[in-house]
Amino acid sequence: MKRMSLLAVLALAACATNTNGTVNHIKNVGSIGGIIQYPGHVVPAVRVCALDTQTQAVSCIKTAAGQSKFQIKNLPAADYQIIASIEQWQFKTGAHVMQVQCIRAPCPAMLKTVSLQAGQALDQIDLNGFYESRDDFPELPKEN
């Protein structure tokens, strides 16, 4: 019987095989998910994107109409802003936002940056603000 080197054993321990047979480095990636709190009776189909605030890298998913939850997987550790776009509904821009206090009302909510650590699953990063448009949100890349 051949013996494996310690380096080979450590490399195998750091990787795992998922259900479709591909190898993921579980300790190096995480996920961000939450609820789509659209201000209407039906949640439309939404394109949700995680924007890395340092590298400007973008990872997007699409949800189906009526789907109230989202999850973006295989994200490296980084600080992200979560932004959504909707094609043909009144409120076309959404995001994970925080309300701010200011002297004049109404005070626009600000994008909230979330920090994802390696291997972490953030699951309460809700899309809690929807607007007809917001010029102060980063523009999402065009879909392919």
Residue 38 lies in a domain: yes
The predicted structure's pLDDT at residue 108: 80
> Residue 27's pLDDT is what?
67
Q: Is 37 domain-assigned? A: yes
In the chain the first and final C-alpha atoms are separated, in Å, by 50
Distance CA 10, CA 138 (A): 40
DSSP string, the chain: -PPPPHHHHHHHHH-EE-TTS-EE-GGGEEEEEEEB--SSSSPPP-EEEEEETTT--EEEEE--TT--EEEEEEEESEEEEEEEE-SSSS--EEE-EE----SSSSPPPEEPEEEEPTT-EE----B-EEES--TTSPPPPPP-
Q: Over the chain (144 residues), what is each successive 10-residue block's mean pLDDT?
A: 41 40 62 95 94 96 96 97 91 91 80 96 96 90 80
Looking at residue 106, what is its pLDDT? 74
Give a yes or no: residue 73 inside a domain: yes
> Within a domain: residue 24?
no
What is this structure's pTM? 0.78
In a domain, 140, yes or no: no
What pLDDT, on a 0 to 100 scale, did the predictor assign at position 12? 39
Indicate the number of domains in the chain: 1
Residue ranges making up the domain that contains 75: 30-131
Does residue 20 belong to any structural domain of this protein? no
Q: Is 119 a domain residue?
A: yes
Q: What is the predicted pLDDT for the residue at 141?
A: 87
- Token digits of residue 134: 């917001």
In a domain, 6, yes or no: no
User: Which domain CATH number covers 39?
Assistant: 2.60.40.10
